[in-house]
Amino acid sequence: MSEFPASESPAAAPASAAAPSPAEPRAPRTEDGSARPVTPGSQAAEGTYRTQPVSFVRRGTRLQGRRQQAWNEHSDTLAVDVPRHIADTSVHPDYVFDAEAEFGRVAPLVVEIGSGLGDAVVHAAKENPDKDFLAVEVYTPGLAQTIQKIVAAQLNNVRVVQANAPEVLSTMLPAGSVSQVWVFFPDPWHKTKHNKRRMVKDTFAPLVARVLAPGGVWRLATDWSTYAEQIRDVGVASEDFVNVHDGERTGAQSPLTKARLSGVDCEQSDEPDMVGGWAPRFDGRILTSFENKAHKAGRVIFDLTFRRN
């Protein structure tokens, strides 16, 4: 589910993390269904945001070495200081992000949700000095590594925020203030019983629609065919979005047809996908280590692009 090495994976609980007592809220389960301790005081420990289960199991908040140093030296300027609400990745609903004050200019704002180790957002910020970028992530080592990359590239057009994405979208960002939202390889939660923890679902689309300016673009990618179909359905069902590539890449051209034929992550079948709606690979999306692993495992990559009405 994650591209992180086992030693630093969000699924690798620190030895000191205490298991919740039966009196505490029920800990979220991992994809294999096992209950593992989560970071006390974190939103994952809380388990929900409003009535929604959170889409992450957050662990491994400790930093070491260069990551710790980068965080100590640069988080003041590069990490948005967010007033918290119910937990340490929660955003107080009264807090509103002021991009102009933060970046010292007015520029199109691109928001990457689940930015991982920061490869995509840092690359894009280098390539697009005329745009500002906000990386939204809950995973502390990933944020620290992103900060290291921002510093190494001497960029002043990227900020990170440690926060649960639905809260960033529902209250923290002003309505209509964003030109693009990116969600690349969201955690798949591929077992049917865990599908409800997927981030991109019908309740998520209105949050993205809220922050996007009219004509703004929502780009997504996934390497799970059932998630790809779910994302396509979410876009079609939303009155706020049109699928920029509606009807494109059907039959043999469809990545879904390819996934079905290979049976790599779904039941093998020769039923062609005649619906299509898949985007070409977004050329601003670099190959991350996560996607690289997906390729090596023979997985099919799905890109989708929706435009805000």
- Give the interface with ligand SAM as residue ranges (CB under 6 A): 2-3, 10, 54-56, 113-116, 136-139, 142, 164-165, 184-187, 199, 288, 290
Cα(55)–Cα(139) distance, integer angstroms: 12
Pairing of strands 158-162, 132-137: parallel
What DSSP string describes 41-60? TSHHHH-EETTEEPS-----
Please tell me whether 248 is known to bind a ligand. no
- Give least dist CB 247 to ligand SAM, A: 27
- Give least dist CB 43 to ligand SAM, A: 8
Neighbours of 32 (CB within 10 A): 10
| Contact (Cβ atoms closer than 8 angstroms) between residue 157 and residue 131 | yes
Please tell me whether 98 is known to bind a ligand. no
Please tell me whether 112 is known to bind a ligand. yes
Cα(13)–Cα(42) distance, integer angstroms: 13
- Give least dist CB 23 to ligand SAM, A: 26
Please tell me whether 229 is known to bind a ligand. no
**Known catalytic residue at 94:** no
Cβ-based nearer residue to ligand SAM, 164 or 254: 164
Give first-to-last CA distance, the chain, whole Å.
32
Please tell me whether 187 is known to bind a ligand. yes
Cβ-based nearer residue to ligand SAM, 186 or 277: 186
Q: Where are the alpha helices (DSSP H) in the chain?
A: 43-46, 65-78, 99-103, 119-127, 140-152, 165-167, 205-211, 225-237, 255-262, 289-296
Cβ-based nearer residue to ligand SAM, 99 or 165: 165
- Give least dist CB 187 to ligand SAM, A: 5
Cβ-based nearer residue to ligand SAM, 219 or 232: 219
Please tell me whether 191 is known to bind a ligand. yes
Cβ-based nearer residue to ligand SAM, 58 or 308: 58
Q: Is the dihedral of CA 12, 14, 20, 21 positive or negative?
A: positive
Cα(282)–Cα(285) distance, integer angstroms: 6
Of 174, 178, 289, 276, whose CA–CA distance to 235 is shortest?
276
Of 283, 278, 284, whose CA–CA distance to 305 is shortest?
278
Identify the active-site residue in 187, 265, 273, 303: 187
- Give least dist CB 21 to ligand SAM, A: 25
Q: Residues within the annotated binding site? A: 112, 137, 164, 187, 191, 223, 288-291
Q: Residues within the annotated binding site for substrate? A: 191, 223, 288-291
Please identify every residue annotated as catalytic: 187
